[in-house]
A and B are shown apart, each in its own frame.
Chain A
């Protein structure tokens, strides 16, 4: 093999080896602002679903303020079972809380929330209210390890929307209900057999 041939072979080797398993530099992200992190504000914090549908067939929602700022509201009861005219049938399984533990309802004023120390909060700030009792969950939430999100993991490239506590948890019955799972995939050769008697006793 001539010297020239060897040089060519070496050059090919170097090019090939150099390209292997190395990240290619991505073009800089031009004109992209750092992504914003938004927290979703669920409609149920400012309105309530009623049985009727709108002309487009969507479930009709009525803003809380519609009634609460125009009608004299009754005094908050101890528990939902005492409700007689409005919000009747509200399910409640959230510890020993009473309505007034979280809600403020004053005549002719949009409903608000109240922290344990008496500070009033607008309904849309419900996250702070949940956080006062659920510290570990709030800590995980702030770190991005609880609650889920949509959008970008890389905030240099785009923003993301975080779920709100009440997107997933019904504040009156926070434990999620049982659901039917989506269909399982059909393995040609099942890798995991259906549960048998000896399961869990290995």
Chain B
């Protein structure tokens, strides 16, 4: 082989190698374009000082305006002392109309194209209690004969399997019992999705796309702010509402009044009345997850 030929091959190889490398790292370059330096340097939510939190919330509001074209307010209300949230659902009354899922979709700024929602209503055969045999995609007039309807959302377990598997502590249980995700800390490994026995966690395959006028501007850091691509999300019992004393959106939307919400630590609350007076059960009790979401029948 002559020196010229050798040099030509070398140059050709180097060029091919360099372009292959550039092509291989291209996604990484696109990724860093989507993340600002401030965001990259942001600490874990629980370690932010009040000043840092204020700066972070202001930055997130600005980013939402830049990316989604809407002025929003992002708050981070702390848990209310002496409050642990509990939810009850009367299966004798639910008709499976999915109004709760629809309200969740709107309230929590879900991606419009996927029609995502934190609530999945399962159509179940009377007498059956196997969640895996429930039909989540029914599309006929409800309630159908011989069926009952089981809306499933995050059960806000007191012993949550999902938080234990998180390798980066991006998800945890708050003092009021709500399991939350720090969307800016999550690495999107989806371990928590696999660990949840209730199929309650969702993954953001894409950046949620919502028309600016449809965005709910009343947002919370740990709840319904617009999530980035590639992170997990879940029902938070509408923390941005409930920590201000308001009822969750799914309860207000229910046209049959099947849903009951309140403070488990208040003996006078509606949810405590349900626990004391109705035959209440939880889903998959045998797993020891101790849900804060209670189902009951009238008879």
Chain B residues near A186 (CB, 8 Å)?
114-116
* Per-residue contact bits, chain B 110-128, to A (CB 8 Å; 1 contact, 0 not): 0000111100111101111
Q: B159 within 8 Å of A by Cβ?
A: no
User: Do the beta carbons of A184 and B138 come within 8 Å of each other?
Assistant: yes
Nearest CB in chain B to that of A137: its residue: B298
Contact A150:B252 (CB < 8 A) given known A145-B88, A182-B101, A192-B135 = yes
User: Are A185 and B251 in contact, with the CB atoms below 8 A?
Assistant: no
Q: Are B255 and A168 in contact (CB under 8 A)?
A: yes
| A148 contacts across to B, CB distance below 8 A | 251-252, 254-259
B292 in the interface (beta carbon within 8 A): no
Q: Is the CB of A147 within 8 A of B257?
A: yes
**Is A118's CB within 8 Å of the partner chain B?**
no
Instruction: State whether B139 touches A200 (Cβ < 8 A).
Output: no
B97 touches A199 (CB 8 A): no
State which of B78, B98, B125 has its C-beta within 8 Å of the C-beta of A181.
Answer: B98
Known: A153-B246, A180-B141, A199-B133. 9 other contacts (CB 8 A): A26-B81, A143-B273, A156-B245, A179-B141, A179-B142, A181-B138, A184-B98, A185-B114, A191-B120
Q: How far is the CB of A109 from chain B (nearest CB, A)?
A: 34
B101 A185 Cβ-Cβ under 8 A: yes
B residues in contact with A192, CB < 8 Å: 120, 122, 131-137, 199
Interface residues on A, range: 35 or more
User: By the criterion CB–CB under 8 Å, are A152 and B247 in contact?
Assistant: yes
The tally of residues in B whose CB lies under 8 Å from a CB in A reads 77
Contacts of A154 in B (CB 8 A): 80, 83, 245, 263
Among listed A3-11, A14-22, A49-57, A66-74, interface-contacting one? A14-22
Residue of B nearest to A183 (CB): B115
Query: CA of A16 to CA of B46 in the docked complex: distance in angstroms?
Result: 9
* Cα separation A131 to B184 with both chains bound (whole Å): 52
Nearest-CB distance from A148 to chain B (Å)?
A: 3
- Whether B81 and A23, one on each chain, are in contact in the complex, defined by CB atoms closer than 8 angstroms, is yes
Q: Are B246 and A152 in contact (CB under 8 A)?
A: yes
- Asked whether any CB of chain B lies closer than 8 Å to the CB of A158, the reply is yes
Closest 9 CB pairs of A and B: A148-B257, A157-B245, A200-B125, A154-B245, A144-B270, A200-B128, A24-B78, A182-B98, A178-B141
With A152-B245, A186-B115 already in contact, the answer to whether A178 and B143 are too (CB < 8 A) is: yes
Q: Does B274 contact A (CB under 8 A)?
A: yes
A153 & B245 in contact (Cβ 8 Å cutoff):
yes
- Chain B residues whose C-beta falls within 8 Å of the C-beta of A145 in the assembled complex: 88, 90, 260, 270, 273-274, 277-278
Residue among B97, B117, B175, B246 making CB contact with A179, cutoff 8 Å: B97
Instruction: Decide if B245 touches A23 in the complex (CB within 8 Å).
Output: no
Give chain B nearest CB distance to A158 CB in angstroms: 6
Interface string of B23-48 (1 = CB under 8 A from A): 00000000000000000000000110
Q: Which residues of B contact A (CB under 8 A)?
A: 46-47, 77-83, 88, 90, 93, 95-99, 101-102, 105, 114-117, 120-123, 125-128, 130-143, 172-176, 199, 205, 242, 244-247, 251-252, 254-263, 269-270, 273-274, 277-278, 298
CB proximity of B12 to chain A, nearest CB, Å = 43
Distance in angstroms from A169 CB to nearest chain B CB is: 10
Which residue of B is nearest A155, CB measured? B245
B97 touches A182 (CB 8 A): yes
Q: Is the interface of A mostly helix, strand, loop or mixed?
A: loop
Determine whether the beta carbon of A144 is less than 8 Å from that of B136.
Answer: no
Q: Are A185 and B254 in contact (CB under 8 A)?
A: no
CA distance A149 to B250 in the complex (A): 11
Give the residues in chain B near A22, CB-CB below 8 Å.
Answer: 175
Contact check, B175 vs A23: say whether CB atoms are below 8 A apart.
yes
A136 to B97: give the CA distance in the assembly, Å.
24
Given contacts A179-B142, A187-B136, A202-B128, contact A146 B257 (CB under 8 A): yes
Q: Chain A residues near B142 (CB, 8 Å)? A: 178-181
Query: Chain B residues near A176 (CB, 8 Å)?
Result: 95, 256
Considering the chains assembled together, what is the distance between the CA atoms of A185 and B113 in angstroms? Answer: 9
Residue in B95, B97, B247, B259 whose beta carbon sits within 8 Å of that of A151 in the complex: B247
Chain B: which residue is nearest A26 at the CB level?
Answer: B80
Contact B95 A157, beta carbon cutoff 8 Å: no
Report the minimum CB–CB distance from A81 to chain B (whole Å): 27
Contacts of A149 in B (CB 8 A): 247, 251-252, 257
In the complex, chain B residues whose CB is within 8 Å of the CB of A190: 136-137
Interface digits, A187-202 against B, CB 8 Å rule (1 contact, 0 not)? 1101111111011111
Question: Within 8 Å CB of B251, what residues of A?
Answer: 148-149
B269 to chain A, nearest CB (A): 8
- Bound-complex Cα distance A150 to B254 (A): 10
Q: Determine how close the nearest CB of chain B comes to the CB of A27; give it in whole angstroms.
A: 10
